[in-house]
Structure 1
Amino acid sequence: MDEILTEINGTSIRINFVANLPYNPHLKKLLSGKRKAGILSEVLFWQQVRAKTFHNMDFDRQRIIGNYIVDFYVKKLGLVVEIDGWSHDAKQVCDEERQRYLESLGLKVFRITDFDMKNNLQIVMKDLENFIIQHYRF
């Protein structure tokens, strides 16, 4: 039975919880360092979504999925949000492989550039709303 998680711009958004995601416990020691790094674009995004401030959705920051640490994750949607900084320019093949892996688990991946987070924040948040409506509408 489908359940409604929230509503965005008059559109009901359904829950799409993906159970039993793989987890590499060896990555856990890297989490606090990544969180403390304070990458500006991640901090800006976190300020927009923390404490269920974005359509009452619960975002996790720096979540381990398999052998990866994703930037943000919405459990009830099976939604990964990745912010690609300048370092990703040289890692395009790795990013594509990572995205294929995450999608193979039934997850959806929304990518944001570091530049857009810093310069077009409101557009990014509107694009995220549209992505969620497109993929999770009830």
Structure 2
Amino acid sequence: MPKRKIIPYNPKLKELARQLRNNSTKAEIILWQKLKRKQMHGYDFHRQKPIDNYILDFFCHELMLGLEVDGYSHQIIEIQLKDSIKERAMFQFGITVLRFSDRQVLKDMENVLRVIEDYIHTKETQP
């Protein structure tokens, strides 16, 4: 059995992550309904997971997969720059980040799930 990769954790973000879980957006709640309790092909996802100095909306350690659901504010250039920095940091830890807009989750959940499933299939079939 391969060793589980250790990912840095910032305990100072624990309370903020809890607050974010308790104040989830509608899109996050709807996507969580599809991910929780290992419903996504048996993989265990966590909500608002602190990693290093960031918090991922959803994270699966086994897949090294982060999911981000971006609201309207993510159209602002400064937020996009922060998102880019966050993605680069996750990449350094070996984490792939898939981004979806609130609109995609709310209006096209079928394709959102298909993208996640395609990632899982690719990951499972890699040597």
Q: Fold conserved (TM > 0.5)? A: yes
* 2:6 matches 1:20: yes
Match of 2:71 in 1: 85
Q: How is 1:28-107 mapped onto 2 (pairs within 5 angstroms)?
A: 28-90=14-76, 91-107=79-95
Q: Deviations over 1:2-52 (max 9, x none)?
A: 7xxxxxxxxxxxxxx751211111111112210111310100010001101
Q: Deviations over 1:55-77 (max 9, x none)?
A: 11110111000000100000111
> Cα offset for 1:135?
4.0
Runs (5+) with no aligned partner, structure 2: none
* 2:121 matches 1:133: yes
Which whole-Å CA distance do the structure 1 matches of 2:86 and 2:123 have between them?
A: 20
Runs (5+) with no aligned partner, structure 1: 3-16
Which whole-Å CA distance do the structure 2 matches of 1:135 and 1:98 have between them?
A: 22
Which whole-Å CA distance do the structure 1 matches of 2:70 and 2:4 have between them?
A: 24
Stretches (4+) displaced over 6 A: none
> Cα offset for 1:128?
1.1
State the secondary structure of the residue aligned to 1:58.
coil
Which whole-Å CA distance do the structure 2 matches of 1:84 and 1:131 have between them?
A: 19
Match of 1:109 in 2: 97
Indicate the RMSD between aligned Cα atoms, in angstroms: 1.6
**Identity across matched positions, percent:** 33
State the secondary structure of the residue aligned to 2:59.
strand
Q: 2:107 aligns with which of 107, 113, 119?
A: 119
Structure with greater strand percent = 1
For these two proteins, the number of residue pairs brought into alignment is: 124
State the secondary structure of the residue aligned to 2:56.
strand
Identify the structure with bigger relative contact order (alpha carbons < 8 Å, sequence gap 6+). Answer: 1
1:83–1:114 CA contact under 8 A, matched in 2: yes
